[in-house]
């Protein structure tokens, strides 16, 4: 059998590292790699390593065979199952919070022969059977074209079936001693050849919600790992998730990620602050002592609000939140948010005076308006028709505020559509309110805030983290029953 010289082995390791990014220091997997190449050279009837290198440089087919020989192919169904539980929890939360349809975009960056991509799809198919509003697309890539070809076929030995939980086997068809992934599932996955260190911007078109890159970075050195992670953060939307293998990690201080749980990393919101015009800068300087804080949000709002209101300072003016959410979840959402903020959750099912240190959220299918009577401000529910397709509507709350004499802070956070934009503009035009909108970089969906920004409705545009700190800086120090000045 053909044998590589030590110098040829070193040249082979250098070539593998250049092509794949995997670190070839030490002895890890080296014997296997050398044996694979030595066997291939012998099978081809070549008499030197130099001739083999010349062949793979000229022959694309042989180059693809070479890539297959130097690639690690360890994969199986539902590998590291806690990650699939995390995916299920995260997707369920997003579906429940979304006011309308939800479309997810996922990349599995080293898909091998496809089991990981199909495992993800099976989880999403199961959720979509309960929530038809959910749709998804999966991009799955691998440097090895042989593995990609197998993945595209979606055909596997029947012995692998035991690794697939029963509840997901409705996505397969058994044919003799093999099983096939159903075409309806395969159609939602785009398999292609590529290195995870390639620039994939043209592949995805839009930002991704999840990236799976598991048990790959263990073969990378620190520099290549950082390079890969920085590419991942380029593709992920704000608050998107990067899921690595359980034994993998990286220095988060050099990235835009923070550890969530179970080797899952969340993309931190990126902050962008837009300059105000000179007249608006004057408004920021003279504004003080807000009597109300009113916040509107839709898709992605619950999570943005948790960040915004966590450990809110007291005493503080009443905080009113208009969140597009299914009525059956309203009260539990309100109580959870109040507990997180450290505020008192106030009942909004009847007209009541607005009190300090209180959080006011609709507990059901009704609008919330703010009214002014005898120098007092009240929160008032109503069953008026839907506004912008929603009840409660952010516009209804914001516009009602613009008809009072109260000094308010109005904040429009992430959300789909245009609800709240017109109302925020009316608040700004009163010259008694300071208005804010979340920026694109930190929004899950940049619909509502974008509409407000384009209308010129926001004095300040920034991340929800920045806006939260700014609002806290304006909070009153002494609160009672709120009077309209």
pLDDT, tens digit, for every residue of 255-266? 888 888 878 999
Same domain, 247 and 372: no
As a whole number, mean pLDDT of residues 104-132 equals: 94
- In-domain check, residue 165: yes
Separation between Cα atoms, residue 341 and residue 471, nearest integer Å:
14
Same domain, 45 and 186: no
Answer with the one of 267, 289, 321 that is the final residue of a domain. Answer: 267
For residue 38, give the CATH number of its domain: 1.10.155
Burial of 31 from C-beta contacts in 10 A (0-12 / 13-18 / 19+): exposed
For residue 332, give the CATH number of its domain: 3.40.50.180
- In-domain check, residue 131: yes
Count how many domains the chain has: 3
142 a catalytic residue: no
Q: Which domain holds residue 260?
A: 82-267
List of residues 6+ apart from 286 with CB closer than 8 A: none
**pLDDT for residue 356 is more than 60:** yes
- In-domain check, residue 485: no
Answer with the one of 31, 47, 69 that is the final residue of a domain. Answer: 69
From 109, 171, 224, 298, active-site residue: 298
Angle between helices 301-309 and 327-341 (to 10 degrees): 20
- In-domain check, residue 272: no
Same domain, 262 and 285: no
Q: Which pLDDT score is estimated for 30?
A: 63
From 139, 145, 324, 367, active-site residue: 324
- In-domain check, residue 483: no
List of residues 6+ apart from 324 with CB closer than 8 A: 99, 297, 298, 299, 301, 390, 392, 415, 419
Same domain, 240 and 288: no
Please give the residue that has the higher pLDDT: either 310 or 172. Answer: 172
419 a catalytic residue: yes
As a whole number, mean pLDDT of residues 179-207 equals: 87
**pLDDT for residue 478 is more than 70:** no
- In-domain check, residue 347: yes
198 a catalytic residue: no
Same domain, 124 and 234: yes
Same domain, 201 and 231: yes
From 419, 433, 442, 463, active-site residue: 419
Same domain, 128 and 193: yes
Same domain, 283 and 136: no
Separation between Cα atoms, residue 27 and residue 410, nearest integer Å:
61
Separation between Cα atoms, residue 434 and residue 432, nearest integer Å:
7
- In-domain check, residue 432: yes
Tell me the torsion sign for CA atoms 293, 299, 301, 307: negative
Separation between Cα atoms, residue 348 and residue 362, nearest integer Å:
6
pLDDT, tens digit, 9 for 90 and up, residues 259-297: 888 789 998 754 444 444 445 555 665 677 789 999 999
Confidence of residue 25 (pLDDT cuts 50, 70, 90): very low
Same domain, 450 and 359: yes
Same domain, 119 and 172: yes
Distance in Å from the first CA to the final CA of the chain: 93
Burial of 316 from C-beta contacts in 10 A (0-12 / 13-18 / 19+): buried
Same domain, 126 and 187: yes
- In-domain check, residue 53: yes
Same domain, 336 and 372: yes
């Amino acid at each position: 059998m053909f044998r590589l010289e030590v110098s040829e082995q070193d040249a082979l390791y250098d070539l593998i590292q250049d092509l794949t990014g995997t670190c070839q220091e030490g002895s890890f997997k080296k014997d296997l790699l050398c044996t694979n190449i030595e066997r291939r050279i012998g099978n081809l009837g070549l008499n030197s390593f130099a001739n083999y290198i010349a062949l793979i440089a000229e022959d694309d087919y042989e180059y693809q065979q070479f890539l297959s020989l130097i690639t690690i192919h360890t994969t199986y169904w539902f590998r590291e199952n806690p990650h699939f539980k995390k995916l299920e929890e995260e997707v369920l939360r997003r579906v429940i919070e979304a006011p309308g349809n939800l479309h997810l975009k996922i990349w599995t960056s080293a898909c091998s022969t496809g089991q990981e991509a199909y495992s993800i799809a099976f989880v999403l198919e199961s959720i979509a059977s309960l929530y038809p509003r959910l749709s998804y697309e999966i991009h799955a890539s691998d440097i090895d074209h042989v593995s990609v070809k197998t993945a595209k076929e979606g055909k596997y030995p029947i012995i692998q079936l035991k690794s697939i939980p029963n509840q997901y086997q409705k996505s397969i068809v058994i044919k003799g001693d093999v099983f096939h992934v159903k075409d309806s599932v395969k159609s939602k996955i785009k398999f292609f050849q590529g290195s995870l260190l390639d620039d994939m911007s043209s592949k995805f078109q839009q930002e991704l919600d999840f990236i799976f890159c598991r048990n790959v970075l263990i073969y990378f050195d620190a520099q290549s790992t950082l390079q890969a992670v920085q590419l991942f953060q380029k593709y992920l939307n704000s608050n998107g998730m990067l899921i690595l293998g359980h034994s993998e990690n990286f220095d988060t201080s050099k990235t835009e990620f923070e550890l969530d749980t179970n080797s899952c990393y969340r993309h931190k919101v990126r902050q962008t602050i837009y300059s105000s015009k000179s007249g608006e800068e004057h408004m920021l300087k003279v504004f003080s002592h807000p009597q109300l804080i009113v916040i509107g949000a839709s898709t992605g709002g619950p999570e943005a609000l948790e960040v915004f209101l966590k450990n809110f300072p007291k005493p503080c003016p009443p905080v009113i939140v208009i969140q597009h959410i299914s009525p059956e979840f309203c009260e539990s959402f309100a109580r959870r948010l109040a507990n997180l903020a450290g505020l008192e959750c106030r009942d909004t099912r009847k007209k009541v005076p607005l009190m300090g240190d209180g959080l006011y959220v609709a507990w059901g299918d009704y609008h919330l308006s703010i009214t002014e009577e005898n120098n007092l401000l009240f929160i008032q529910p109503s069953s008026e028709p839907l506004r912008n397709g929603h009840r409660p509507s952010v516009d209804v709350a914001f516009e009602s505020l613009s008809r009072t004499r109260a000094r308010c802070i109005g904040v429009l956070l992430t959300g789909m559509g245009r609800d709240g934009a017109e109302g925020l503009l009316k608040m700004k035009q009163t010259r008694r309110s300071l208005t804010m909108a979340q920026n694109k970089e930190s929004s899950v969906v940049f619909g509502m805030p974008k509409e407000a920004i384009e209308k010129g409705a926001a004095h300040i545009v920034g991340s929800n983290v920045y806006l939260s700190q700014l609002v806290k800086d304006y909070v009153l120090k002494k609160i009672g029953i709120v009077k309209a000045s």
